[in-house]
Structure 1
Amino acid sequence: MKISLKIFLGYFLLVGLAAWFVLVVFVDEVKPGVRQAMEDALVDTANVLAELAKYDLKEGNIQHGRFAESLQNYQAKSGVANIWGIPKSTADYRVYITDTRGIVVFDSQAQAIGQDYSHWNDVYLTLKGKYGARSTPTNPSNPDGDTIMYVAAPILDMGQTIGVLTVAKPNSTMQPFIRRAQQKIMGWGALLFVLSLGLGVAFTWRFTRAIHRLRDYAIAVAQGKKAAAPDSSNDELAELAHAMKSMRDELDGHQHLQQAIQQLTHELKSPITAIQAAVELIEPDMPVQDRTHFLNSIKTQSHRLQHMVKNILGLAALEQQQMLELPANIQLADLVSHQVQLVKNRADQRNIKLDTELDPALFIQGDAFLCGQAISNLLENALDFSPDQSTIKIRLSHTVEGICLQIQDEGSGIPDYALSRVSDKFYSLPRPANTPNAGQKSTGLGLNFVLQIMALHRGKFSISNAESGGVSASLFWPH
């Protein structure tokens, strides 16, 4: 199982359990909370009505007095109120009054007048000077069904209890409010759950994305590709990325040093052998023409050695570099024009025309020196393989693949067997017979140098035979 799925399932389980627990507690607390609020309201109502009923009870006119008349008028009303969208159209209260013996002397519903209610807790406890209340099933045969709450208050005269007034209200009248409260809680709970789920997905994606970037970086390192160590806002992952980068730098340092030494040792054999042979053949009494030939050979091979050492060390350093340290904004047309001017004298000496078409509006972010070196290598290569009185076309344009610099000569082209190897290290083709350096080979590092520079710029380098003849070399920088 992937770590992203493990993290998400763990988060989902934690949030799900927490949400379930909170919702269950809230929903379970709604019903008793509403009933407690209703009981508190009934206490106040019973005490107020007890004060209003006191005078009619003292005068023995409780069934036909103003108190009874007021209750009847209230019960006859319709459309009493609209409470937060829930209409209240009828009076839900029942009020009855008992005397000091517990005998019902008034009942707003005229159901229990004359009955003995002294055994009910609301009346019994109030007559004892205590708080009297009870909750009784509406249907005695179904004790688990709807109930009615009864709350009593003493009717006092000069500090003496002369009766008990009880207010009764069915608990079912609170059910719409309880149901609506529960629905709101469930609705908000579901919304919070969905939001938490979304946050969990976002958190898991963000966290695992950093891990995946570290994985991709490690794979790129194993494959020897150029890759920048990923950044992360997570301290531990940032430390891991830094540690991996340090490890790569350390390993690359040793590996590139070893490779540079091996390559240098292998490639130095040929010019050293040529120098040794020339030295051994030179004699004091040999003709001047022969001596000059061997001395020129030594000079040429010495120059080749110096150039080779410089290129190998430069290429080794470039291969070790994983990212541009200080990229800057580069106007490519100016950079290409500058490199063209550097080789113009050589081209003029051989009547080679440098035909340029450069778009001045193209810019890239990169290292101007390295990009200049790549362009210079391609121009030098084109000159080496171009016949006299030919044309080298240089085109800088915007393409689908990115910004493209194309350099095309009119030489003999690349043999088929060499097309896939021309950018390999130390692979070089002899210069054509119709060029100044006919038969000679280069160090074979120039095109590989170009390849490494473009990889550092996240670009591409391609070289192929042109349909019209000659070789077309192209540099592509990303948009």
Structure 2
Amino acid sequence: MRIGLRLLLGFFLVLGLALFVVLRIFLEEVKPGTRLAMEDSLVDTAYALAQLAAPEMKAGTIAVGGFAKAMTALPSQQPRAVIWEFQKNQIYTRITITDARGLVVYDSQGKDIGKDHSRWNDVLKTLRGEYGARSSAESPADTERTVMHVAAPIRDGDRIIGVLTVSRPNQTLEPYIQRSRDRILRWSWGLLGFSLVIGLLFTWWMASSLSRLRAYANAVARGERAELPRMGRLSGNTEFTDLAQAVERMRLKLEDKAYVENYVHTLTHELKSPLAGIRGAAELLQEPLPEAERERFAANIQRQTERLQQLIDRLLALADVEQMRGLGAVDPVDLAVLTRELLQASEPRLRLKALRVVNEQGQGGVVRGNRFLIAQALQNLLDNAIDFSPPGGALTLRLTHEDGSLMWSVRDQGPGIPDYALNRIFDRFYSLPRSDTQDRSSGLGLCLVKEVSELHGGEVRVENVSDPTGCMAVLCLPH
């Protein structure tokens, strides 16, 4: 399982568990909390009404007095109140009064007058001087619908002469309870959705940062040219940035060490042949020789010296390109125009071998890149085509568009590439003998072309062609 998925699952496991516990507590506390608030308000109402009923209770006129008339008219009132978007047009409060024996002497609904309520907790406890309240079913047949009863003592001095009970159906609170539950659930789902977005972003950030670091490390391990990944603004100066910089420092140290070792080894090997030729010719020149022989050995020294100079120059150029991690400033480069300039500079060599140039590049071949590096790559491909072309042959240059890329190609009529060399022509210091002189080049030209093409996000390939026989080099660069 990928680390991004693990992080996401772990995040939602913790979040889901916390949300489940908190949501359950909230939902379980809404109903009792609302009923406690109603009970609190009923306590105030019961004690206030008990004070008002006390004078008529003392006088024995509680059933026919002004208090009874006022309370009896209470259910007919229409408050027209708007509470939390709910319309309240009815009074649900019921008031009953019992005497000191627990017998009902007044009922605002007239149902229980004369009944004995002394066994109910609201009356029983209040007559004892305790707080009396109960919640019981409206009727034995409907136990789901309950009524809250809260009582207050009616006193004559310190003596309790009666009990006033205020009752209200709990069902009247359901709209408010349901509204609270709906709001809690709605906000909980919203919080869960918001947390999902945050979790996805957080997981994407960590997974993408790790993925870029892994891709960079794998590219370095494969020996590819790779740029240090940018962690982005969200990463800031975090451990990811420190890790990326540590990997980059390690890469540079390892590459520098391997680069120096490799170049010292290969350069030492390649310098042996021209140095041996120079030393042998120099030793022979110290002896008496005919003029023709002297000139031949002197020319050999000059030729080997030029080979050494060419080797060093190309090695330095290749080293500069290989050390590049990316292009700096880029400019529009017209490949057709650049090719005409290179052909003009190569005209003396073309005339020397009587080569005919067929330039079919046309117009509109513009890419963005480093003009100097692209010119070096094209010059190397053109030089190879000239070197391997037979005298009087033809070079064909084309520029075509294919899948958003420009395909620059040069085709010669030489012998082609031997099968054994097809997989090695891009190796450093590997070269084939020229058809006319049998001399070998530095073996760095195609290697330089490959580095330049990769630096520009393109590719290079060299392949044999037939009809007529020859070789074609293709440099593909993004349009």
The one-letter code of the counterpart of 2:176 is F
Q: Which residue of structure 1 aligns with residue 264 of structure 2? A: 261
> 1:176, CA displacement in angstroms?
4.1
Q: Deviations along 1:47-99, whole A, 9 cap, x unmatched?
A: 66567767876886654566656655554689978866767786533221235
| 1:461 to 1:118, Cα distance in 2 relative to 1, 3 A | same
Alignment partner of 1:372 is 2:372: no
Cα distance in 1, alignment partners of residues 348 and 53 from structure 2: 123
| Aligned partners of 1:324 and 1:367 also within 8 Å | no
| 1:335 to 1:50, Cα distance in 2 relative to 1, 3 A | farther
How large is the RMSD of aligned CA atoms in angstroms? 3.7
Total equivalences in the alignment: 472
1:401-440, aligned counterparts within 5 Å?
402-433=405-436, 438-440=437-439
| Aligned partners of 1:396 and 1:403 also within 8 Å | yes
Q: Which residue of structure 1 aligns with residue 300 of structure 2? A: 297
1:313-352, aligned counterparts within 5 Å?
313-319=316-322, 321=323, 323-324=325-326, 326-333=328-335, 334-349=337-352, 350-352=354-356
SS of equivalent to 2:461:
strand
Q: Which residue of structure 1 aligns with residue 367 of structure 2? A: 363
| Aligned partners of 2:285 and 2:294 also within 8 Å | yes
| 1:341 to 1:33, Cα distance in 2 relative to 1, 3 A | farther
Cα distance in 2, alignment partners of residues 42 and 340 from structure 1: 105
| Aligned partners of 1:257 and 1:316 also within 8 Å | no
SS of equivalent to 2:114:
coil
SS of equivalent to 2:438:
coil
| 1:343 to 1:54, Cα distance in 2 relative to 1, 3 A | farther
| Aligned partners of 1:260 and 1:316 also within 8 Å | no
Cα distance in 2, alignment partners of residues 147 and 460 from structure 1: 84
Moved more, 72-81 or 18-27: 72-81
Cα distance in 2, alignment partners of residues 401 and 466 from structure 1: 25
The one-letter code of the counterpart of 2:476 is F
The one-letter code of the counterpart of 2:367 is F
> 1:398, CA displacement in angstroms?
3.1
Q: Deviations along 1:94-135, whole A, 9 cap, x unmatched?
A: 2212356654221123233234546655456767888x5512
| Aligned partners of 1:46 and 1:166 also within 8 Å | yes
| Aligned partners of 1:357 and 1:395 also within 8 Å | yes
Q: Deviations along 1:347-385, whole A, 9 cap, x unmatched?
A: 355353261525436332x33322221122112222222
Q: Which residue of structure 2 aligns with residue 309 of structure 1? A: 312
Cα distance in 2, alignment partners of residues 61 and 361 from structure 1: 113
Q: Which residue of structure 1 aligns with residue 226 of structure 2? A: 227
Q: Which residue of structure 2 aligns with residue 188 of structure 1? A: 187
The one-letter code of the counterpart of 1:363 is V
The one-letter code of the counterpart of 1:447 is L
Q: Which residue of structure 2 aligns with residue 460 of structure 1? A: 459
> 1:211, CA displacement in angstroms?
1.5
Alignment partner of 1:32 is 2:36: no
The one-letter code of the counterpart of 1:189 is S
Moved more, 366-375 or 120-129: 120-129
> 1:225, CA displacement in angstroms?
1.6
Cα distance in 2, alignment partners of residues 300 and 37 from structure 1: 107
Q: Which residue of structure 1 aligns with residue 200 of structure 2? A: 201
Q: Which residue of structure 2 aligns with residue 212 of structure 1? A: 211
The one-letter code of the counterpart of 2:330 is A
> 1:446, CA displacement in angstroms?
0.3
Q: Which residue of structure 1 aligns with residue 441 of structure 2? A: 442
| Aligned partners of 2:431 and 2:443 also within 8 Å | yes
Moved more, 280-289 or 203-212: 280-289
| Aligned partners of 2:81 and 2:87 also within 8 Å | yes
| 1:56 to 1:410, Cα distance in 2 relative to 1, 3 A | farther
Gaps of 5+ in 1: none
SS of equivalent to 1:138:
strand
| 1:282 to 1:66, Cα distance in 2 relative to 1, 3 A | same
> 1:314, CA displacement in angstroms?
3.3
Q: Normalising to structure 2: TM-score of the pair?
A: 0.84
Q: Which residue of structure 1 aligns with residue 472 of structure 2? A: 472
> 1:236, CA displacement in angstroms?
0.7
Cα distance in 2, alignment partners of residues 338 and 251 from structure 1: 40
| 1:397 to 1:50, Cα distance in 2 relative to 1, 3 A | farther
Q: Which residue of structure 1 aligns with residue 42 of structure 2? A: 42
Cα distance in 2, alignment partners of residues 299 and 474 from structure 1: 34
Cα distance in 2, alignment partners of residues 300 and 461 from structure 1: 30
| Aligned partners of 1:135 and 1:147 also within 8 Å | no
Q: Which residue of structure 2 aligns with residue 112 of structure 1? A: 112
Q: Deviations along 1:14-62, whole A, 9 cap, x unmatched?
A: 2122112211221122112211232244345446656776787688665
Cα distance in 1, alignment partners of residues 412 and 450 from structure 2: 19
Cα distance in 1, alignment partners of residues 456 and 119 from structure 2: 96
Q: Which residue of structure 1 aligns with residue 148 of structure 2? A: 149
Cα distance in 2, alignment partners of residues 48 and 305 from structure 1: 115
Q: Normalising to structure 1: TM-score of the pair?
A: 0.84
The one-letter code of the counterpart of 1:36 is L
| 1:273 to 1:477, Cα distance in 2 relative to 1, 3 A | same
> 1:8, CA displacement in angstroms?
2.7
Cα distance in 2, alignment partners of residues 295 and 280 from structure 1: 11
